[in-house]
Amino acid sequence: MAFWTYILRCADGSYYTGHTDNLEQRIAQHHAGEIPACYTAPRRPLELVRAEEFPTREEALAAEQQIKGWSRAKKEALIAGDWERLILARSSRTDSVHGSTGSPRTEPGRSARAGSAGSPRTTPDRLASSDAGAVSDAAADPTHDEHWMRHALALADRAQHEDDEIPVGAVLVSAGGEVLGEGWNRNITDRDPTAHAEIVAMRQAGARLGNHRLLGSTLYVTLEPCAMCAMAMVHARIARVVYAAADPKTGAAGSVFDLLADARHNHRVAVQGGVLAEGAGRRLSNYFRTKRGKPPL
Ligand SMILES: [Zn+2]
């Protein structure tokens, strides 16, 4: 059985977010006004502007709650599929009272959310920072990709210096600018073929959030992801990946495979490469030169 999180645009321009296990029937009920107590009934006609499928009700509900905590601008960025704008949008707060945070009470099993219409601060938002002010300003800084890539490069240095591993580092950052997980290559140390920096960071984030979906997040990694990591990012519904150095041998973000942008996935990850690529490439070259007994460049 599949579950859906959906967004309706109402006639008054507001948005309504809900979840269901029967999308077609539920949307027909909204259109017909057959859910009388629902926020949408007096706001028809309605337009379905987004629907995303999840394997479990818990995940669909978590996505619904997350979106409900978002500002109108951020919801519109999500609907438009504009990941850049989604990342930069403020996570919630003042303008969401004009948005879709009406409080439908018609769905059994829907978790109670006190004061949802007027109190966006009470909305659980797994990915937004609890301290939106400072971090959102940082996220709005156009140089923040470089800021986070420097963070990932520092993690790559730790891979080499602490574990003598190939220097690749990764940090996963929420839409609100909060670090959700970080890691570096630990294949040899952990005797784990899957322990690439990206996987380590995503595992940490999943454990921290209590959710294997990492919606709206951006992953910064110092080397273009391989096919394994790229698919894990698709499964995790990561919004965007920024990498430094390209990997002409196994890169799956366009160099060898192009898995993140493949139109056959039901989720696509926005990709940007080449951020601080020189520093990342130098670390990798020097690591392998040292292994071959050559001096670093
Ligand atoms: Zn990988």
* 249 vs 93, more confident: 249
pTM of the predicted model as reported, rounded to 2 decimal places: 0.56
Q: In whole angstroms, what is the distance from residue 263 CA to residue 168 CA? A: 28
Confidence tier at 3 by pLDDT (50, 70, 90): confident
Q: What is the dihedral of CA 212, 213, 217, 223, to 10 degrees?
A: 60
Ligand 1 geometric centre to CA of 227 (Å): 7
Question: What pLDDT does residue 297 have?
Answer: 83
Ligand 1 geometric centre to CA of 67 (Å): 29
Partner residues linked to 1 by β-bridges: none
Which among 209, 272, 202, 263 has a CA at the least distance from the CA of 236? 202
Place of tokens 């990798």: 284
Among the ranges given (63-77, 96-110, 228-242), the one the predictor scored with the smallest mean pLDDT: 96-110
User: Using omega within 30 degrees of 0 as the cis cutoff, is the peptide bond preceding 108 cis?
Assistant: no
Catalytic residue IDs:
198
Question: What pLDDT does residue 2 have?
Answer: 85
Confidence tier at 102 by pLDDT (50, 70, 90): very low
Question: What pLDDT does residue 277 have?
Answer: 96
User: Does the pLDDT at position 101 exceed 80?
Assistant: no
Question: What pLDDT does residue 143 have?
Answer: 61
Confidence tier at 266 by pLDDT (50, 70, 90): confident
Ligand 1 geometric centre to CA of 225 (Å): 5
Angle (deg, nearest 10), helices 144-163 and 132-140 = 100
User: What would the pLDDT profile of 21-44 be if each residue is shown by its tens digit?
Assistant: 889 889 999 999 888 778 888 889
Among the ranges given (49-63, 90-104, 118-132, 275-289), the one the predictor scored with the smallest mean pLDDT: 118-132
Which among 169, 175, 171, 180 has a CA at the least distance from the CA of 211? 180
How many CB atoms lie under 10 A from the CB of residue 209?
18
Question: What pLDDT does residue 110 have?
Answer: 37
> What is the β-pairing status of strands 218-223 and 240-245?
parallel
User: Does the pLDDT at position 57 exceed 90?
Assistant: no
User: Does the pLDDT at position 138 exceed 90?
Assistant: no
Question: What pLDDT does residue 58 have?
Answer: 78
Ligand 1 geometric centre to CA of 257 (Å): 13
Partner residues linked to 20 by β-bridges: 4
Question: What pLDDT does residue 80 have?
Answer: 84
**Mean pLDDT confidence for 105-132:** 35
Confidence tier at 137 by pLDDT (50, 70, 90): very low
Which among 137, 39, 131 has a CA at the least distance from the CA of 93? 131
User: Does the pLDDT at position 262 exceed 80?
Assistant: yes
**Mean pLDDT confidence for 126-147:** 50
Ligand 1 geometric centre to CA of 217 (Å): 18
Ligand 1 geometric centre to CA of 247 (Å): 11
User: What would the pLDDT profile of 65-88 be if each residue is shown by its tens digit?
Assistant: 788 878 888 888 888 877 767 766
Question: What pLDDT does residue 238 have?
Answer: 96
Among the ranges given (140-154, 167-181, 222-236, 254-268), the one the predictor scored with the smallest mean pLDDT: 140-154
Position 54, amino acid: F
